Structure 1
Amino acid sequence: MRIAVIGGGVIGLTTAYALVRQGHQVELIEKRDQVALETSFANGGQLSYRYVSPLADAGVPLQALGWMFRGNDAPLRFRPKMSMQQWRWCARFLLACRRSTNRRNAAHLLRLALHSQQVLRNWREQDGLDDFAWRANGKLVIYRDRASLDKAAAGLNGDGNQQLFDADQCAAIEPALQPLADALQGGIYSPGDEVADCHLFCRRLLERLGRSPNFQLHGGQTVTALRSEQGRVCAVRLGPEELAVDHLVVAAGAASVALLRPLGIELPIYPLKGYSLTLPLRNHAGIPDTNVTDYDNKVVYARLGDNLRVAAMVDIGGWDASLDQGRIAMLQRLASEAFPAAGDYRSATQWAGLRPATPEGTPLLGATELDNLWLNVGHGSLGFTLACGSADLLCGLIGDQRPAVALDGLTLTS
C-alpha cells in the first residue's frame, strides 16, 4: 500500500521503517530540510523501559503550586495563557492526578515500553541496525527526599526488574555518585534499561530507508491541508501539489493538533517544553556510566559516547521552543554541582524542545473516525523509549493484524 507519514522525528521515522520492513511504499513528509531537528534532536537519551510513571500523579498539583514561587529552578513551571486549549489540557491533567489513575496509566506505558524494547532488539539483531551510541547500562533514579523515595518504593512490584537501594548501594552501583551519597536517601535501580543518541538513531534509520526503493523522503515540505472524501483521506496537499495516499499516519508531534483540527479531530495534546545540555567529555572519570535521574530536581544524566547529555525541566506555557537562558543557567548549575568533573557546562550545546504530551501521559495510537487516517502522537518525554513499539503496533494495525500487546488506554477513544 502507498502510505504517507507526516513527521520526520523519531516517531515518524520508526513508523516509516516498520512499514517499509513490511513491504509498503512509504512517503515520509518532513517540514524541515533534515530529519530529527526538533524534539528528537537533543532529548535525554535514556531508554527508560521500566521507569515510565506519568507526570500526572497524586500530590503533583500541590507541588506545582509551591514550584510557582521558585522561578527558574522549579522542576515544573506553569505559565497561564489566554488559551482554552491550555486550560482544557490542564483540567484533564488535574483529573489524572490521582494515584489510581497514575498506576493504571503507568501499566499501559510499561506494556508498550517493554514491547518497544523487544522491537528495537529485533531491529538491532535482525537488521544490524547500530552505530547510534546504544548501550545496555541500566538506570538509577536517586532520591534526596525520604517521602519521595517511600512513595516510589511502594509502587515496586517485586519482580526484581527494579531494585530498592540505600544511599551506599547507589554509590556502589554508580561510583560517580559517591560525592552525593550524604545528600541521598536512596534510589531505585532498573538494570534492564538502556541509552542511545536519538538524533543518531534517526539518522541511521534514514540511511537504511534511503536504500529501499519503497521509500521517499519529502524534506522541506509543509503540509498545507489534508483532503478527505467519503470518510477517508485521499490526498495530502504540499503547497500547490497533492500526494495521493492509501493510508495516512500523522506523527508530527505537537504540530499534529493544528493539522487535524480542520478534519474535526481535536487531539488532547499540549507541548511541554524541556531543556538539555550536551557536553563533550574531557575524560570519563567521575562521570556516571549508568543512566541517572535526580528525581527531586527532575534532571536526567546520560553518557552518549564521548558526550554527557543533561536534560530537565517542564514548562507548560505555549508553543515557543526558544531557549530561556534563565532555565539554561539553572540546568548548568545543577549539573556542575552533581558532576563537576565532566567539564565546563557553560560551553555545552544548549537545546530546548516541545514534547507533545497528553494530560494522562499515554500516547495516542491507532485509528481515527476516518478509516485510513492513523495516529502515532502524544508520547511526551517518552518518545524515544516508546517509538519502536508504537511503530510496530501501528504497522500491524494498518495491515489488519492482531496487536502484539493490548491497546487499552493507548487510543484516542480509550
Structure 2
Amino acid sequence: MQVCVLGAGVVGLTTAYYLARDGHDVTVLEGRGGAALEASFANGGQLSYSYVAPLADPAVLPHLPAWLLQRDSALRFVPRLDVQQWRWCVSFLLACRTHRARRTAVELLALGALSRDALHALVHDEALDFDYVRNGKLVVYRNPVEFERARRRMEPLVAAGVEQHALDAAACVALEPALADAQPLLAGGIHTPSEEAGDCHRFGVALADVLQRRYRVTIRYATPVSELVAPNGSVIAARTPRGDVRADAFVVALGNGSVPLLGALGVRLPIYPLTGYSLTITAPPPRAPRVSVTDLHRKVVYAPLGGRLRVAGMVEIAGMDPGQRVARLALLARHAQEMFPAAGDYLAARTWCGHRPATPDSKPLLGATPYRNLWLNTGHGALGFTLACGSARAVAEAIAGRTPPVDLAAYSLRR
C-alpha cells in the first residue's frame, strides 16, 4: 500500500519507520528544509517513560493563580482573543478531575512502556547515533512536605516491581556530584535508574537517513501541505506547491500544523501550542550532571547529551507568539545556574523556543478519523520524544488491520 506521512518530526519519522518495516511504500512530506526542525529540534531530551503523568491533574489547581499571574512562574497564561485558546483551557480544567486524571495517567504509562520497548528494539536494529544514554533520572524536591508525598506515592510502585529509590539531599549529591552546590536547596529526590536521554534532533536526522538508505522511503523536504483533497469521505491527495501527492492512506503527524489542515475538512483537533524554552551548553566533566535531573520546584529538566547539557522548561499558554522569548530564556538560565552553577558557559548557550502541540489531557491523538483512509498521530505535547515509537507502532498496526498493543480508543478523537 502507498502511505503518505505528513510531517518529518520525531513522530512522523517513527511512523514512516514502522510503516516501511511493514512493507508499505512510504512518502514523507515536510514543510521545513530538514528533519526534526520544529518541536523535535531542541526539546528536553529526557526519555521518561515512568514520568508521563498528565499536566491536567487536581494537584495543579491550587497552584494555578500563582502560576498564571506571576511573570516568573513556570506556567504562564497570556490571554488572547483566540476561541481555540479559551476552549482548550476549559477542557484542561475539566481534565483535572481526579478520576479522569488517574485514568489518563494509567493510559500514558501503558503507551510509555510500549514506546520504551519499541525504542530499545529500534536502537538495537538500526544502531542510531543520537547521544543516547540509559543514565537514570533523579527528580529533586526542595519542599520536605512534597518530597514526603512523593516518597509515599513511590511505595506502591516499588511494591509492584518498579525500581525507584528515595534519597535524602546528601544521597542525591552522592549519586550526582554536580548537585553539590545546590545541596542546601534540596530536601531529597526520587531516583529511577531505568530512565534515558538522547538528542531528539540527532535521532530524527539519523532515522531519516536510515529510512532513505535502507527502507527506500521518499522524504520530500521544503514541501508544505496546503490542503487535503478529500471527496466522498476519503483523502485522494495531499496538495503541495510541487503538485498533488496521491496515496492509499495518509497519516497526519504535523503537530500544531495538524489543526488548520484538518479544520478545513471539518475535523476539529483539541490541540493548542504550549511554548517551551531550552538552553544547550557545552558541559565539560566533572561539573556537568551525568544523570538526568528534574527540578520539580522550577519545572526545569536537565539532560546530559554527550559533551553538552540540555536545559529545558517553562510552559506558556500564549499561542505561537514568541514575543516573551528573551525574558523567559533569561529566567531559565538563572534557574539553571542556581542548580548547576559550574556546568558550563551559560553566556555561550544555544537558545531555543518551541511550541509543543498539546491536548488538554496530555494524551496524543492516535488512530482513525471520520475519513476512511486518514489517520492521526499528533498532539503529543511535551511527551513527543518519549511516546513517539509507541505511538507510531500502534498506528502502523491499526493501518495494517492488526490489533494495536494499546487500545487506540483511549487516544481517539471521540475519547
- What TM-score does the superposition give when structure 1 sets the normalisation length? 0.96
Within 5 Å, give how 1:68-107 maps onto structure 2.
68-71=68-71, 73-107=72-106
Within 5 Å, give how 1:213-228 maps onto structure 2.
214-228=216-230
Find the counterpart in structure 2 of residue 26 from structure 1. Answer: 26
Within 5 Å, give how 1:115-126 maps onto structure 2.
115-125=114-124
CA–CA distance in structure 2, aligned partners of residues 130 and 34 of structure 1: 17
Q: Give CA deviations for 1:388-412 in whole Å, capped at 9, x if unaligned.
A: 1111111100000111223352222
Contact 1:64 1:77 in 2 (8 A): no
Q: Give CA deviations for 1:318-376 in whole Å, capped at 9, x if unaligned.
A: 12346611001111111112111122212100000000000001111111111111000
- Is 1:7 aligned to residue 25 of structure 2? no
Within 5 Å, give how 1:182-201 maps onto structure 2.
182-201=184-203
Contact 1:10 1:198 in 2 (8 A): yes
Q: Give CA deviations for 1:206-248 in whole Å, capped at 9, x if unaligned.
A: 1101114641111101111101122111111112621111000
Instruction: Please state whether the residue corresponding to 2:116 is helix, strand or coil.
Output: helix
TM superposition shift of 1:129 = 2.4
Contact 2:182 2:340 in 1 (8 A): no
CA–CA distance in structure 1, aligned partners of residues 323 and 46 of structure 2: 23
Structure 1 alignment gaps of length 5 or more: none
TM superposition shift of 1:106 = 1.2
Instruction: Please state whether the residue corresponding to 2:170 is helix, strand or coil.
Output: helix
- What TM-score does the superposition give when structure 2 sets the normalisation length? 0.96
Find the counterpart in structure 2 of residue 205 from structure 1. Answer: 207
Within 5 Å, give how 1:170-181 maps onto structure 2.
170-181=172-183
TM superposition shift of 1:83 = 1.0
Counterpart residue type for residue 296 of structure 1: H
Alpha-carbon distance change, 6 to 90 in structure 1, aligned in 2, over 3 angstroms: same
CA–CA distance in structure 2, aligned partners of residues 42 and 290 of structure 1: 18
Contact 1:23 1:214 in 2 (8 A): no
Instruction: Please state whether the residue corresponding to 1:60 is helix, strand or coil.
Output: helix
Question: What percent of counterpart residues are identical?
Answer: 47
Instruction: Please state whether the residue corresponding to 2:206 is helix, strand or coil.
Output: helix
Alpha-carbon distance change, 143 to 213 in structure 1, aligned in 2, over 3 angstroms: closer
Find the counterpart in structure 1 of residue 337 from structure 2. Answer: 336
Find the counterpart in structure 1 of residue 360 from structure 2. Answer: 359
Contact 1:323 1:352 in 2 (8 A): no
Find the counterpart in structure 2 of residue 39 from structure 1. Answer: 39
TM superposition shift of 1:95 = 1.1
TM superposition shift of 1:413 = 1.6
Within 5 Å, give how 1:161-172 maps onto structure 2.
161-172=163-174
- Is 1:63 aligned to residue 63 of structure 2? yes
Contact 2:282 2:309 in 1 (8 A): yes
Give aligned pairs, total.
Answer: 411
Relative to structure 2, which stretch is displaced further, 180-189 or 115-124?
180-189
Counterpart residue type for residue 310 of structure 1: V
CA–CA distance in structure 2, aligned partners of residues 344 and 214 of structure 1: 42
CA–CA distance in structure 1, aligned partners of residues 367 and 250 of structure 2: 11
Alpha-carbon distance change, 375 to 195 in structure 1, aligned in 2, over 3 angstroms: same
Instruction: Please state whether the residue corresponding to 2:387 is helix, strand or coil.
Output: helix
Find the counterpart in structure 1 of residue 320 from structure 2. Answer: 319
Find the counterpart in structure 1 of residue 129 from structure 2. Answer: 131
CA–CA distance in structure 1, aligned partners of residues 13 and 26 of structure 2: 10
Alpha-carbon distance change, 240 to 192 in structure 1, aligned in 2, over 3 angstroms: closer
Counterpart residue type for residue 131 of structure 2: A
CA–CA distance in structure 1, aligned partners of residues 288 and 215 of structure 2: 44
Find the counterpart in structure 2 of residue 295 from structure 1. Answer: 296
- Is 1:368 aligned to residue 366 of structure 2? no
Find the counterpart in structure 2 of residue 270 from structure 1. Answer: 272
CA–CA distance in structure 1, aligned partners of residues 373 and 151 of structure 2: 44
Taking only aligned residues, the RMSD between alpha carbons, in angstroms, comes to 1.5
Contact 1:129 1:204 in 2 (8 A): no
CA–CA distance in structure 2, aligned partners of residues 284 and 332 of structure 1: 19
Contact 1:137 1:193 in 2 (8 A): yes
Alpha-carbon distance change, 225 to 203 in structure 1, aligned in 2, over 3 angstroms: same
